[in-house]
Amino acid sequence: MALQPDNTPSQPSRVPDVVIDRLPQYVRILHALMDSGVEVVSSHQLGRRLQVTPAQIRKDLSYLGRFGKQGRGYDVRYLASELKQILGLNRRWNVCLIGVGRLGRAILSYPGFAPEGFEIVAAFDTDDRVVGATLGELKVQPMDELGETVERLNISIGVIAVPSSVAQEVMKLLTECGVEAILNYAPVYPHVPERVRVRNVDPVLSLQSMTYYLSHRNNHG
């Protein structure tokens, strides 16, 4: 039987950003293991799935507490529960969407957010042809209602799906309303206060990095 942690800190010490970025992958893999009936997993098994070394797995988890002992493995259900708590995934997060063009509408219709605790509770746009329209259960609001809505609905996260020419202005408005976490789909490098966390989603950049390997595949064996 895997050993559960005997000294997990209530507030983890400073964790490197690269480790934090991996934690959701841990949670996803652990849930897949639970669905398969796996109760205990080793650092070698996790490493193979994450494509990192077992030593890296152990180092990552050491930032957060003591979750097992060498040779005993990790209790899958317990580890998943602890990592979800550390990530704040044991609660619901209210999200607003800025921009309801083609990309914004696709984001609104994506069914994967709510089951993971992320609820899009408001949508905004500046286009008079769009404002007032009902999309699913949401009525598109004008941008001048952003501040009041963020406060009233306790919105913590903003999703930006606007043209790059106005993305910086939208980020400024969100941060002025107290939103400190932004998922940005606009192809720009944002300037935000240090307290604000931004994650950029740009599939074009990902495609461009992959074409390097395609262009040089003969040099990589």
Does residue 83 surpass a pLDDT of 90?
yes
Residue 152 has what pLDDT? Answer: 97
SS3 201: coil
Taking only the tens place, the pLDDT of each residue in 122-166 is 999 999 999 999 999 999 999 999 999 999 999 999 999 999 999
pLDDT tier for residue 93 given thresholds of 50, 70 and 90: very high
Q: How far apart are CA 167 and CA 188, in angstroms?
A: 7
CB 161 within 8 A of CB 103: yes
CB 5 within 8 A of CB 79: no
Q: How far apart are CA 160 and CA 183, in angstroms?
A: 6
Q: What is the mean pLDDT of residues 207-218?
A: 88
Q: How far apart are CA 101 and CA 77, in angstroms?
A: 40
Q: Which CATH architecture has domain 93-202?
A: 3-Layer(aba) Sandwich (3.40)
Taking only the tens place, the pLDDT of each residue in 6-46 is 444 444 458 899 999 999 999 999 999 999 999 999 999 99
Taking only the tens place, the pLDDT of each residue in 180-193 is 999 999 988 888 98
Q: How far apart are CA 206 and CA 33, in angstroms?
A: 28
Q: What's the whole-number average pLDDT of the chain?
A: 90
Domain 17-86 matching CATH 1.10.10.10: the answer reads: yes
SS3 16: coil
Q: What is the percentage of the chain residues whose pLDDT exceeds 90? A: 77
Structural domain boundaries of the chain? 17-86, 93-202
